[in-house]
Amino acid sequence: MIKRIVNEIRQRPPYKWHRHIGTLAAIFFVFLAVTGVAINHADALKLDQRHLASDWLLDWYGIDPETDSVSFAIVDGRRLTGTGASLYLDARRVATTDDMPVGLAEANGVLAIATANEILLLTPDGNLLERSAANLIPGPIEKLGITAKGQAIAKTPVGIFLADRNLLAWKPSQATATWSQATAVPAQLLEKIGKAERRRMLTLERVFLDLHSGRLFGSWGPYFMDGVALLLLVLVGTGLYMRFSKRGQ
């Protein structure tokens, strides 16, 4: 049996092998070429800014809806909630954050929400007014609140700092404050923003990279792509053989 196969390989002209392998591998070469060119130009094509919302693909990647959150109630009944890498005003995503919020203050018609590293100022309708590095206040922010006069106030390990009217400068203060308290998000809202956040976690660039390497198809995917690469080498060999040998011609 093996002898017969070996004889067949020996006897079959190289152009036949070239043709068969080329046909078999063509679809994968097209696939590798398309994904390769896309990855090479990922920045220009903004692949890292395009998010895929397909539920089955997110399931395939094992990306679950976000459930970890910190939420603060606003006086008018709405909520500012930090989850994943985003901040939501009710169910609307209003900003990216680098950490979970630690406090909220409503002062002079502005919503100020702090993480340890920065303070985000939002208009009442949720537009980002400004984000500023919390380094302008000494120490990581632990709490945010308001004074009896309605001024925003922040607590860090270094001390307590009172904001000016425009929330631009924070000065050391001894004022007493009502600190904001995180409260539980209603389950329905949490489910909604959890799903919205989930749909921001997978970029087209990630998928193209995993398609190109074969990793999208599981742990055997890269080996399969290795096989496709080997087929390309065989094609190079048979192509050169046909070009330079009498038998090939």
Partner 1 sequence: MMGVCFFTRPSFAIDTYQNPENFLKEAFPNATPQAKILWITKTRGEVARRILGHNFGALRQRYWRNGERTVWILDEIGKMHPITTGILVEGGAIKRIRVLIYRESRGGEVRYPFFTEQFEGATLTKNLKLDRHIDGISGATLSVRALTHLAELALYLHGEAINTP
Q: How far is the CB of 137 from partner 1 (least distance, A)?
A: 9
Residues 161-220 that bind partner 1 (CB under 8 A): 166, 168-169, 201, 210, 215-216, 218-219
117 binds partner 1 (CB under 8 A): yes
Coarse DSSP helix, strand, coil percentages of the chain, rounded to the nearest 5 percent: 40, 25, 35
Stretch that binds partner 1, among 16-24, 131-139, 148-156, 181-189 (CB under 8 A): 131-139
Q: How far is the CB of 138 from partner 1 (least distance, A)?
A: 8
62 binds partner 1 (CB under 8 A): yes
Torsion-angle region of 46 (φ positive above 0: left; ψ -120 to 50: alpha; else: beta)? left
Torsion-angle region of 181 (φ positive above 0: left; ψ -120 to 50: alpha; else: beta)? beta
Selection from 63, 64, 61 nearest residue 207 by Cα = 61
CA-CA distance, 111 to 88, in Å (whole number)?
A: 13
Stretch that binds partner 1, among 53-61, 140-148, 152-160, 174-182 (CB under 8 A): 53-61
CA-CA distance, 2 to 5, in Å (whole number)?
A: 5
Could you tell me if 153 and 147 are in contact, meaning their C-beta atoms sit under 8 angstroms apart?
yes
Stretch that binds partner 1, among 22-30, 61-69, 152-160, 182-190 (CB under 8 A): 61-69
Q: Which of 68, 150, 172, 224 binds partner 1 (CB under 8 A)?
A: 68
Draw the binding track, 214-243, toward partner 1 (x: CB under 8 A; -: no contact).
-xx-xx------------------------
63 binds partner 1 (CB under 8 A): yes
- List, in order, residues 6 or more apart from 129 with CB less than 8 Å away: 110, 121, 122, 123
Could you tell me if 196 and 83 are in contact, meaning their C-beta atoms sit under 8 angstroms apart?
no
Number of Cβ atoms within 10 Å of the Cβ of 230:
12
Q: How far is the CB of 50 from partner 1 (least distance, A)?
A: 14
In the DSSP assignment, the letter for residue 150 is S
Contact residues toward partner 1 (CB under 8 A) are 43, 48, 59-63, 66, 68, 84-85, 98-100, 117, 123, 127-133, 135-136, 138, 166, 168-169, 201, 210, 215-216, 218-219
